[in-house]
Amino acid sequence: SQLFWQQCLSQSSGHGLSQVSGIHVTTPAEVHASKGDTVMLPCTFTSTSPPTSKMSVHWSYRPLTGGPPLVFFHFSSRAYYQESGQFAGRIKWRGAPARGDASLSLINATLNDNGTYICDVTNPPDVFGPNSETVLTVTPKGMIKSLYIGIKTSQVLPFVVLALKSTLFYSLQIIYLFYTLFDTNACHTFQILICCFLKQHIHFLQLYSYIVLL
C-alpha cells in the first residue's frame, strides 16, 4: 500500500502537479517601549513568488491573560484598520510588500498593549508556513525617577552621613599611621586620600543632591 502511494506521487509530479511552496515570516522575539511611545512592530517575509494582489497580511494580538488571538489589522491590496476596540486609530501600515516588508507601527502605546503580536503572511501559491510572534513590553516612563521621588530625604540622609563619617575616620587613621611609622609627608598623603575619598563617594553626593532638588 505504501509503495502504491509512492508510485502515484512520483507519477503525478510529472503530470502538471507541482508541490506547494512555503512562506517564511520573521519578527523579533521581543520589542520594548515606554508608555506613550510610537512602537514599530517589524515583520518581514520571503516567498518563492513575487508578491501579487493576492498577497495578504494579518496581524493579531493575544493579551497577557491568554485566550485566542484577536485580528486587528488586515492587508490585501490595501490596509484595513480596526474601526473600534483597543487599537482603533492607533495602527499605521508601514509595510512594503515588494520588499518583503509587512511591518506596522503602534501609536501611543499603553500598558494594556502588553502581550503577543502575531504576523501572518500568505502569497499564493505560497500559502503554507508558520506565522511569527513578537512579545511587546510597555513600561511606564520615568520609572527610575519615580523610585527616587518615593524616597524621602530624611530616609537617605543618615546613610549618606554615616558613609562619609566612617570613610573620613579611617582616612585620618591611615594618615596618622603613615606619619608615625614612616615619617612621610603627611600633608601630601592627606591630599591623596581626600582625592580617593571624593572619587569613591561622589555617587553618594550625587544621589543626595538629586533627591534634594526633587
Of 188, 70, 182, 186, give the one whose Cα is nearest residue 118. Answer: 70
Q: What secondary structure letter does DSSP report for 19?
A: P
The SS3 call for residue 130 is coil
CATH label, 20-140, candidates 3.90.1150.10, 2.60.40.10, 3.40.50.2020, 3.30.365.10: 2.60.40.10
Enter the C-alpha cell of residue 59: 496581524
* 192 confidence band (pLDDT: 50, 70, 90): low
When pLDDT is averaged across residues 177-182 and rounded to a whole number, the result is 55
pLDDT at 211 > cutoff 60 = no
Task: Write out pLDDT tens, residues 114-129.
Answer: 999 999 999 988 888 8
What's the pLDDT score for residue 163?
A: 54
- In the chain, where are the structural domains located? 20-140, 145-213
d(CA 22, CA 197): 65
Indicate the pTM of the whole model: 0.59
Specify the pLDDT at position 193.
Answer: 52
d(CA 103, CA 97): 10
Higher-pLDDT residue of 184 and 111 is 111
- Report phi then psi at 124, rounded to 5: -50, 135
The three cell numbers of residue 210 are 538629586
